Amino acid sequence: MTERTFVMIKPDGVKKGLTDEIASRIRESNLKIIEMKQMELDRETAEELYSVHEGKEFFEKLVKHVTAGPVIPMLVEGDNAIKRMREIIGATNPEEAEEGTIRADFGSDITNNIIHSADSPESFKREARIFFSEDQI
């Protein structure tokens, strides 16, 4: 089933120069990057993106991290794109991520884990609308 998902390279991934490597891994997995841009997040946008974690102890740290530098939001399309992207990026904690995943290869800790990806169709719809217009989605 062809679907779309939302992906975002976080500031630590951009700072490490991993944008091309991550884009290559996505394409090598037979997924297509439909939209991609570079931007800086303000606090309000970061809080909206991570609103599902509001009130949790790591929320503030997460918001500070994603507002610390440029990010690369993307729309990615392909068969089972949501599930496949989650497999490509690996577990949230790089120490628990499978070898060969983006987070295992490049992440340094649970906050500095390089990349975000929607975990469900509902998350995709909510997150993508924060960064892209309806005609892009």
Asked if residue 113 belongs to a known ligand binding site, the reply is yes
Active site residues: 116
Asked if residue 58 belongs to a known ligand binding site, the reply is yes
What gap in Å lies between CA 132 and CA 114, rounded to an integer? 21
Asked if residue 19 belongs to a known ligand binding site, the reply is no
Asked if residue 103 belongs to a known ligand binding site, the reply is yes
Asked if residue 10 belongs to a known ligand binding site, the reply is yes
Can you list the pairs that 43-51 forms with residues at least 24 positions away whose Cβ atoms lie under 8 Å?
Answer: 43/67, 45/130, 48/130, 49/8, 49/116, 49/127, 49/130
Determine how many CB atoms are found less than 10 A away from the CB of residue 79: 11
Asked if residue 124 belongs to a known ligand binding site, the reply is no
List all residues 6 or more positions away from 31 whose beta carbon is below 8 Å from its beta carbon: 76, 77, 78, 81, 84, 85
Binding residues: 10, 58, 86, 92, 103, 113
Binding residues for ATP: 10, 58, 86, 92, 103, 113
